[in-house]
Amino acid sequence: MSLIESCQSLGIYVAPEATIQEIIDILKTQADDLKVKLLLGIAYQEEEQEEEAFKVFEEAAAQGSLSALYQKAAYLYDGRGVEKNTKLAIDLMQEVIELAQKDDKQEHLLQNAYLNLGRAYWDAFPHNAAKAEEYWTQAAAEGTGLLDAMIELSKLYAHPVYKNEEKCFYWHQNAAGAGHVPSQAIIGKFYLEGKGIGQSTSKAMNCFKRSAVNGSALGRAMLAELYYKRKMFTEAAQQSKRVCDTADSDFDFSEKDEHYKKGFCLGAFIYSRCLQLGRGTLADYDYSVELLHAAASADSEYANQLQREIIAGQI
C-alpha cells in the first residue's frame, strides 16, 4: 500500500500529486491519533529523515503502538537517526515478540521480529548460530512465512561449519516457491550434483531454464556451463553471451547483488572460454581476456575457483 493509499485508509485526503514532504505536513496536523502518528514516522522514513522518524516511532511506541516499538528496535540496532544500541534493540525486539505472540493479528510483525532477532544473534560476536536458526525457523513458518527467513536458513545450512545439504535444499525449494528466482538456479545445482536430493541432470536443466526465463543471471550462467560441459558449444556461447550482455558497459557491479555477481562471473568465464577457443562462436581473444578481468571484478573468489577448474581441464 502506498503512502497516499495509507492516508486514504485513515480518512485523510491527500492529492495524488502530493510530495512526501507535503504528506508529512498534513499528517503532522493530525498526529494526536496513534495510527496517524505511526504513518507520519513511515513518511519520515520514506523521505529519509531518519532522526525525525525515530523520534516519532519512539513517541508512538511509548503510547502503545507495537509496530512503532518494532521500528524503534530496528532503528536502535542499525543506528539510524539515533546512537546505535544493540543490547537495547535486542531487548525491545524480544518485547515485540512477547506482545505479538498474544495477538493473532500481529503474525507478520511477529515473523519480522523473529527474522531480525535471528540476524542479531548471527551478527553478534561470537555469533549464536543456534539462536539464529531458532528464530529464522520461526520466521519461515515451515515455508509459509517470510521469504527472507527462508533465504537466511538456506545460507546457514550452506555454511561450512553448519552445512546440511538436505536442509539447504529444503529451504531453497521453499524460497523458490515463494518467488526467489536465484534459489531455483541453486536447486538445479543440487540436482546436478546429487546433493541433498537424488541426482538428475534433466531436472537440473529444467531448473536452470526456469530460473533463466525468470531473469536470473545465475540460472542462465549455470545453464551455459551445463551446455558447455556437455559439448553443446553453440548453446553455451549463446546463453553465456546473454549473461554478459546484462552488464553495464564499464562492468560496474557495485549495485548488484551476490547472485548476479556470481552469475555474471560464471557466464563471463564460459563465454570467455568459447571466445578463446572459437567454440560455438567466432574466436576473439582480446574480448575473452577482457571478460576474465570483468569476471574477477564481479566475484574475485569465485573467479579464482573457476580459473583453477580451467587449469584442471574441467572447463
Predicted local confidence at residue 120, as pLDDT: 94
312: pLDDT strictly greater than 90: no
pLDDT band at 311 (very low <50, low <70, confident <90, very high): confident
pLDDT, position 315: 82
Q: Are 81 and 50 in contact (CB under 8 A)?
A: yes
Q: Is the dihedral of CA 236, 242, 246, 248 positive or negative?
A: positive
In angstroms, rounded to a whole number, what is the distance separating the alpha carbons of residues 135 and 112?
10
Residue 14 has a pLDDT of 87
What's the CATH architecture for 1-102?
Alpha Horseshoe (1.25)
pLDDT in tens, 52-89: 999 999 999 999 999 999 999 999 999 999 999 999 99
Check whether 1 has a pLDDT greater than 80.
no
pLDDT single digits (tens) 206-224: 999 999 999 999 999 999 9
Residue with cell 492516508: 7
Q: How far apart are CA 83 and CA 77, in angstroms?
A: 9
pLDDT at 248: 86
The per-residue pLDDT for 118 is 96
The answer on pLDDT for 7 being more than 80 is yes
Cα separation, 220 vs 226, in Å, equals: 10
pLDDT, the chain, mean:
94
pTM of the model: 0.86
Q: Over 90: is that where the pLDDT of 111 sits?
A: yes
Q: Which ranges of the chain would DSSP assign to H, the alpha helix?
A: 3-9, 20-28, 34-46, 50-62, 66-78, 86-100, 107-123, 129-140, 147-156, 165-177, 181-193, 201-213, 217-229, 233-244, 258-277, 285-298, 300-311
What gap in Å lies between CA 38 and CA 56, rounded to an integer? 7
For the chain, the structural domain boundaries read 1-102
107 contacts: CB under 8 Å, gap ≥ 6: 100
